[in-house]
Amino acid sequence: MTILIIGCRGQVGTELALQMKQRGREIIAVDLPEIDITDSSSVKNYIARPEVSLVVNAAAYTAVDRAESERELAFAVNAQGPGLIAESCRIGNIPLIHISTDYVFDGTKSSAYVETDPVSPVGIYGKSKAAGDSLVAGCLEKYIILRTSWVCSAHGANFVKTMLRLGNEKETIRVVDDQKGCPTFAHDIAEAIVTIAEKYLAEQELPWGCYHYCGKGETTWFAFAQEIFRQAGERRELKLKSLLPIPSSEYPSPVKRPMNSVLNCSKIIEKFGIQPRPWKESLQQTLNDLYLQESAITSS
Ligand SMILES: NC(=O)c1ccc[n+]([C@@H]2O[C@H](COP(=O)([O-])OP(=O)(O)OC[C@H]3O[C@@H](n4cnc5c(N)ncnc54)[C@H](OP(=O)(O)O)[C@@H]3O)[C@@H](O)[C@H]2O)c1
């Protein structure tokens, strides 16, 4: 039983391929350029392989700001792509685990978002992801859509790595303090997907549908940055002297972001027994991984 992982060089895909291999699972792990999810023959070429029994789509267009000027590409990758993947899965009767985002919501709700809340994305990225989710849900019965938020890891570009770079370069950094959400680390998302995949491979059945999964504990980008610098500062000296909170209105961006991105994870806890991990603990692990990578580079 082979699991096809699409988007295996992204933040989540990298961790997922690693954890699946560590568990001795047979995987086919692909990303651009081996597969292009906007091309139906490229998608079929992998999903129609007889050994494939489960597909995970971790591929996406994730540049939230750039999406405003690259609407067509964002929709091709985040909407048409998952649509093509779902269509191939339907033909082969293969279940699909597809990853989605908190940005399908507009952030105006005062409490945490549950799976049944209506989507109302504000930017192109959120709109393209919501369109992809709806194509997946409309095409397949056997699907899991896993919505997550504020993804960070030791690989790829993300908020933690940006803050660490700025903390080494600048004495003053301003960070938005009026958007709240839950940082989620790619290794935890991968662990949640592994749990879901293992359950499917053991039982050939799942409580299909949409689930929310994010790190435990809500915060703001500013408080997240404070914690990054607190933990990083214990390990090394930073150039940073002053971290200042600012409102979203003072942050230059072509797109409005949700003010509230907090996801309620009760459903995944209840149906799969998956417990969100405290994000501060996962941050510690990610900083360990980052510093290990760095010392490996400097000592080689
Ligand atoms: N990042 C976040 O903060 C965040 C927050 C909430 C939800 N999510 C969701 O979580 C999932 C994983 O995100 P991530 O942060 O791991 O993303 P990521 O690091 O940007 O990785 C996405 C991967 O997809 C690949 N890709 C792009 N276009 C493709 C195409 N046409 N065909 C095949 N592969 C393609 C990318 O390749 P290139 O790098 O070569 O383009 C990249 O390797 C996505 O569904 C995302 O929407 C992310």
- Residue 250 is assigned to a structural domain of this protein: no
The tokens of 23 are what?
């568990």
CATH of the domain at 191: 3.40.50.720
Q: How far apart (Å, rounded) are the C-alpha atoms in residues 276 and 286?
A: 16
Q: Considering the domain boundaries, does residue 224 fall inside one? A: no
Would you say residue 240 lies in a domain?
Answer: no
Ligand 1 atom closest to residue 103's alpha carbon, by position in its atom list: 6
Q: How far is the CA of 59 from the centre of ligand 1 (A)?
A: 4
Give the SS3 label for residue 298.
Answer: helix
CA gap 52, 209 in Å, rounded: 21
149 CB less than 6 Å from ligand 1? Answer: yes
pLDDT over threshold 60, residue 250 = yes
In a domain, 281, yes or no: yes
56 and 3 Cβ atoms separated by less than 8 Å: yes
Taking the centre of ligand 1 as the mean of its atom positions, its distance from the CA of residue 171, in whole angstroms, is 32
Minimal-distance CA residue to ligand 1 atom 7: 101
pLDDT tens digit sequence for 80-125: 999 999 999 999 999 999 999 999 999 999 999 999 999 999 999 9
- Nearest ligand 1 atom to alpha carbon 159: 3
Confirm whether 204 is domain-assigned: yes
Atom of ligand 1 nearest to the CA of 59: 24
Segment 39-68, tens digit of pLDDT: 999 999 999 999 999 999 999 999 999 999
Q: Is residue 227 part of a domain?
A: no
The reply to whether 175 falls in a domain is no
**223: which strand partners?**
none
Q: What mean pLDDT comes out for the span 11-18?
A: 98
The two tokens of residue 101 are 């985002």
Q: Which of 151, 221, 263 to mutate to test the pocket of ligand 1 (most atoms within 8 A of CB)?
A: 151
Number of domains the chain contains: 1
Instruction: Report yes or no on 173 lying in a domain.
Output: no
CB of residue 155 inside a 6 A radius of ligand 1: no
**Residue 73 beta carbon below 6 angstroms from any ligand 1 atom:** no
Number of alpha carbons in the 13 Å side-chain half-sphere of residue 219: 22
pLDDT tens-place string over residues 171-228? 999 999 999 999 999 999 999 999 999 999 999 999 999 999 999 999 999 999 999 9
Per-residue pLDDT at 294: 78
Alpha-carbon span 177 to 233, nearest angstrom = 21
Q: Is 213 a catalytic residue?
A: no
Whether the Cβ atoms of residue 88 and residue 36 lie closer than 8 Å to each other: no
Q: Residue 208's domain spans which residues?
A: 2-159+182-218+263-299
Instruction: Report d(CA 169, CA 186) in Å as an integer.
Output: 26
- Determine the Cα–Cα distance for residues 300 and 293; give it in Å rounded to an integer: 11
Interstrand relation of 180-181 and 219-220 (parallel, antiparallel or unpaired): antiparallel
Residue 241 CA, ligand 1 centroid: distance in Å: 33
Return the number of other C-beta atoms located less than 10 Å from residue 2's C-beta: 14
